[in-house]
Structure 1
Amino acid sequence: MFSGLIEAKAQIVALQPEPGGIRLQLTTPANFDDVSLGDSIAVQGCCLTVIDMSDGLLSFQAGRETLAKTSLGARLAGDAINVERSLALGDRLGGHLVTGHVDGQGELISRIDEAQWSTMTFHAPPDLMRQMASKGSITVDGVSLTLV
């Protein structure tokens, strides 16, 4: 589980095609020194498992389903993306509980930035809209947002 509060940005070093998906290599953020092989990391909000750690890089695999339902398939080497380590029992929860199991994608239609917050309007497919409720929460690229 995750909180939807981004801990760091990581840079994509490589996206290598593999049978059934890709292998994704990211720079290891400085505050991720406690990450171990097999840990779950939210990468753009999607729960991925660390499959390799070497030379300051974290490696993950993303299958076709993940690439279709997340923004990861549209990313390029050099892009900076949101990452968050999984919660541990006893951690404070400042966002909302995020599983990292992504149901689909919406499209940002407009954004109005104000002094204390931003108001964003999204378009989402009907199958996603059925899962949303006023004052409920969604996650956009790993960021916890409240619906109004």
Structure 2
Amino acid sequence: MFTGIIEEIGTVCSVKRSGSSSFIEIQAKKVLEDVHMGDSIAVNGVCLTVTHFGGGVFRADVMNETLSRSSLGSLTSGSPVNLERAMAAGGRFGGHIVSGHIDGTGTITDIKNDGIAVWYTVSAAPELLRYIVEKGSIAIDGISLTVAKVTDTSFSVSIIPHTASQTILGSRKVGDIVNLENDIIGKYVEKLMKPSEAAPQSSLSMEMLAKHGFI
């Protein structure tokens, strides 16, 4: 689990593709201070498993499912990436619950300055927008952000200078594709509210309660 608080910006050293999968090597510093084989590191919001590390570089395998649901397939040597280690049990919860499992991608359609802040508008598919609510949480490229506005086709966030300088969002341009992870709470609530067709029908009814003296 992650919190969406980016620890550093890493640099892609190489991307090797083979068929429908690939592996990626990333140069980093802070996230490698206590790294172990099998650790999870979020790369632009995508949870990847460390399969090799050394010399200030770590490697992770990227499956076809990950490539199809995220923007990692467009990374090349030299690309900057947001990095975050999995949350430590005793750490501060600075952002929101981020699983590192991308729901899909969006496209930046507008960027505008507003005093010290910068507004980013991102278009997304209806199946993603249904979980995005004003003043709710959204992870963009792994960054925990607060939704400022939602329309039928897009949503907007407003970021402070610190976020712009410490993440790759500050260098994003109109037309760029970004990874999106919706607030996990909304997805679970929706699932629990939908009765399963396979679930047995309950015998509980108003008539049954009355018969046994409950009403």
Return the TM-score normalized by structure 2.
Answer: 0.65
CA contact (8 A) 1:16 1:23 kept: yes
* Counterpart position of 2:69: 69
Give 1:94 deviation, angstroms: 1.4
Match of 2:29 in 1: 29
Which residues of structure 2 form unaligned runs of 5+? 149-215
Rate the CA distance shift 1:31–1:144 in 2: closer, same or farther, 3 A. same
Give the conservation status (yes or no) of the 8 Å contact 2:9–2:28.
Answer: no
Q: Cα–Cα, structure 1 residues 31 and 85, in superposed 2: closer, same or farther, change >3 Å?
A: closer
Show CA shifts across 1:48-91 (max 9, x none): 00011133210001111111211111111011111001101121
Cα distance change, pair 49–31 in 1 and its aligned pair in 2 (3 A): closer
- In structure 1, distance between residues paired with 2:49 and 2:97: 18
Displacement over 4 Å in runs of 4+: none
Once superposed, what is the RMSD of the aligned Cα atoms?
1.4
Structure with more contact order per residue of length (Cα contacts < 8 Å, sep ≥ 6): 1
Max Rg structure: 2
Deviation at 1:19, TM superposition (A): 4.3
Q: CA deviation at 1:11?
A: 0.8
Deviations 1:106-130 (A, max 9, x none): 1111112333422211110011111
How far apart, CA to CA, are the structure 2 residues paired with 1:30 and 1:136?
29
- What does residue 54 of structure 2 align with? 54
**Corresponding position of 1:88:** 88
Count the aligned residue pairs. 148
Seq. identity, %: 37
1:14 is matched with 14
Question: Which whole-Å CA distance do the structure 2 matches of 1:141 and 1:23 have between them?
Answer: 19
Taking the aligned partners of 2:134 and 2:51, their CA distance within structure 1 comes to: 38
**Deviation at 1:5?**
1.1
CA 1:32/1:115 → structure 2, altered by over 3 Å: closer, same or farther?
A: farther
Matched, 1:39 2:34: no
Does the CA-based 8 Å contact 2:46-2:102 persist in structure 1?
yes
The answer for the alignment partner of 2:106 in structure 1 is 106
Is contact 2:31-2:85 (8 Å) kept?
no
